[in-house]
Every structure is written in structure tokens, then in C-alpha cells.
Amino acid sequence: MALERAAIRYAKALLSLAIDQDSTKAVANDMELYAKTIAESEDLANFLKTPNISRPVITASLLQIFKDSSALTVNLIHVLSENNRLPLLEQVALEYTKLYNAHIGLQLATVTTAVPINEALETKITDKIKALTGKSAELENIIDESILGGFILRVGDIQYNASIANKLSELKREFTLN
């Protein structure tokens, strides 16, 4: 929990600096790349957490891996290194992305379906979310064949379950109560 709070503090400071320097989008792109790269590479994640490798070696490696990064994100790597917090890089990147999305009024919505949704339906769903919440949404489609059909939409802490599996479950409860 303490590490998560530290990651949030670093992310907030980075967002504040990025706002001051009008480079929030460039930093957001870097942070998305960092989070994705570390999440997809178990070797890199382990490398960041290995205590017997010196911080300058890890820092130099990160700067080489992410050589096209903006000045602010390069500075973040140096600050994390100086404070012995390089293992937090992925978490800081994820937290920054959340804060950035909130800053620009973008929210993440997940729609779970039995089959992949097409572009037209995705557009309709995001338009409906914007109409209901007043904010635009980035849509993530999760495929779960166990819902049989329909969909489950989750936006923030609101969930709407219109899955066939849920409807069948409701019918089953209704019949067992009567």
C-alpha cells in the first residue's frame, strides 16, 4: 500500500510538471509505452526489481530502451533512480495515465460481450456513455463467452448487466423464491 501511495505521489508530481510545461500528451504517450513495455516483458520487470544490479546500470538501460522519451519522463527515471524507486516505474506510469485521463475528462469503460464488438457498435456505446456521463470514454472490449449473449457495461463504479447469463440467473432466483 505504501508503494502504491508513493507511485501516486510521483504520478501527481509528474502531471503537475507536465501541465506547467504544456506537455501532458507527450508524457502520457511515454507513460503508456512504459507501462505496456514493462507489463509485456517479465525480464524487464524483474530487471527493475533486482537488488544486486546497480541503479546507474538500470537507469542507463532504461534510458536506452526508452531513448525517444520526452525530457520530463527522462527526468522521472533519474528521480526514481536517485530515490531508489525504479521498481515503481510501471505503477507510476499506470497512475499517471489514470490522472491524465481524469485531467482531460476521459474515462475508461469496459464492455464485456460473448463475441467481439464491431466499430459501429463501439461508436454507439461510447456516444451513449458520453450522453449519460457527460464525459468521453475509452472503450475496452472483454470477451467472455460465459455470459452467453448481451453485454456487461462498466463505467467507473457503475455497472449495467444486460447479459443473458444474468437474466437466466434472475429467472432462476425468481422461480426458487415462488
Instruction: Flag whether pLDDT at 3 surpasses 80.
Output: no
21-80 pLDDT, tens per residue? Answer: 999 999 999 999 999 999 999 999 999 988 888 899 999 999 999 999 999 999 999 999
Cα–Cα distance for residue pair 177/171, rounded to 1 Å: 10
In the prediction, which pLDDT does 89 show?
95
Domain 2-102 in CATH 1.10.520.20? The answer is: yes
Span of 10-14, 90-94, 132-136, 145-149 with lowest mean pLDDT: 132-136
131-168 pLDDT, tens per residue? Answer: 888 888 888 899 998 888 888 888 877 888 888 888 88
Cα–Cα distance for residue pair 125/153, rounded to 1 Å: 9
Strands 151-155, 158-161: pairing is antiparallel
In the prediction, which pLDDT does 37 show?
95
Q: Is the model more confident about 92 or about 177?
A: 92
In the prediction, which pLDDT does 77 show?
95
In the prediction, which pLDDT does 126 show?
85
120 confidence band (pLDDT: 50, 70, 90):
confident
In the prediction, which pLDDT does 70 show?
94
Domain ranges of the chain: 2-102, 106-177
Asked whether 95 and 7 are in contact (CB, 8 A), the reply is yes
In the prediction, which pLDDT does 158 show?
82
In the prediction, which pLDDT does 1 show?
64
Instruction: Flag whether pLDDT at 178 surpasses 80.
Output: no
The region, left, alpha or beta by phi > 0 then psi within -120 to 50, assigned to residue 134 is left
